[in-house]
Amino acid sequence: MKSTFKLVAFLVFILSYGNAFAQTNKKTVNIVLLAGQSNMAGAGDYTSLDASVKERLAKVVDRVQISNSGKAPTPLSFYLSKGHKNKYGFEEAFGPELLIGIVLAEKFPKDKFLLIKTAQGGTALYGAWNPDWTAEKAAQVEAEGFKRELKLYASFIDDVKENIKRIEGEGKVYKIIGMGWMQGENDAAKEVSALSYEANLVNLIKRVRADLNVKDMPFVLGQINSHYGDFSAGPATVRAAEWKVSEIVSKVKTIKTTADAPYNDYPKHSDNVHYNAEGQYRLGTAFAEALLNLQ
């Protein structure tokens, strides 16, 4: 009888220890948030990348996934764009997420990452991306049609929460390690949105941190250098706002860019609007390094 009791006690101990071990060794999924307009969506030609870059991706792809615009997570790779096929002659495209994922995974070779991205070309922080969206503001700055109905901030937060719910449902834990923001060109195009960009960007950072309960979440933004729209002072105004926000808000880093062509720091396509493969390679690397520095 005593031996039976000892055996039962031993089995209970083993099972309890095993459960405790499993709880303390759950693999954390490191989440990186990505949002913005067309240069966050990305117009880099994946097929033109050097083989060494694709080899780097192949070595980490089993640990890096991306959830793009509410879609289920898939291994990090290019996306297909018919628009780029018509405009630039290639369909396999990538944005800064590619090198962000590669660099972070190389830095932490035992960790897993999930990039959650929402990007829509030709949209403004004043309008579609505004956490305090109104139809009136959207009508002031967004192009006629579906963009005036977009509530991108709300959709983005919903997508993040759905991914978190899925992660927790799989018995895993997560950590949001930062956010990348590449946006502002469309705000620079109009006076009302350009002049309010600083306040709107501060509000965006404050709200995303609060809505996802990540105090002082690292936030990295790329400085715009567009030259289109109805307000000639717009680009310089937004560029200055992006730089100032990194000085007045904690844990924010602005990636500095040249203001005018030939854009040798982050090269562009001939349209001088969208970054090409080399530009996106450098931009993604810069985002990753800035995120690492803010940890």
Is residue 16's pLDDT more than 90? no
CB 56 within 8 A of CB 102: yes
Please check whether residue 248 lies inside any domain of the structure: yes
pLDDT digits (tens, 9 = 90+) for 238-288: 999 999 999 999 999 999 999 999 999 999 999 999 999 999 999 999 999
Please check whether residue 4 lies inside any domain of the structure: no
Return the percentage of the chain with pLDDT > 90, whole number: 91
Please check whether residue 257 lies inside any domain of the structure: yes
Is residue 5's pLDDT more than 80? no
Please check whether residue 62 lies inside any domain of the structure: yes
Closest by CA position to 181, among listed 271, 83, 286, 258? 286
Please check whether residue 7 lies inside any domain of the structure: no
Domain count, the chain: 1
**Looking only at Cα atoms, what is the longest distance across the chain?**
90
Give residue 215's pLDDT.
Answer: 96
Instruction: Indicate yes or no: pTM above 0.75.
Output: yes
| Cβ-based neighbour number of residue 155 at 10 Å | 16
Please check whether residue 154 lies inside any domain of the structure: yes
The per-residue pLDDT of the chain, averaged, comes to: 93
- Domain holding 218, by residue range, is 25-294
CATH value at residue 77: 3.40.50.1110
Give residue 27's pLDDT.
Answer: 87
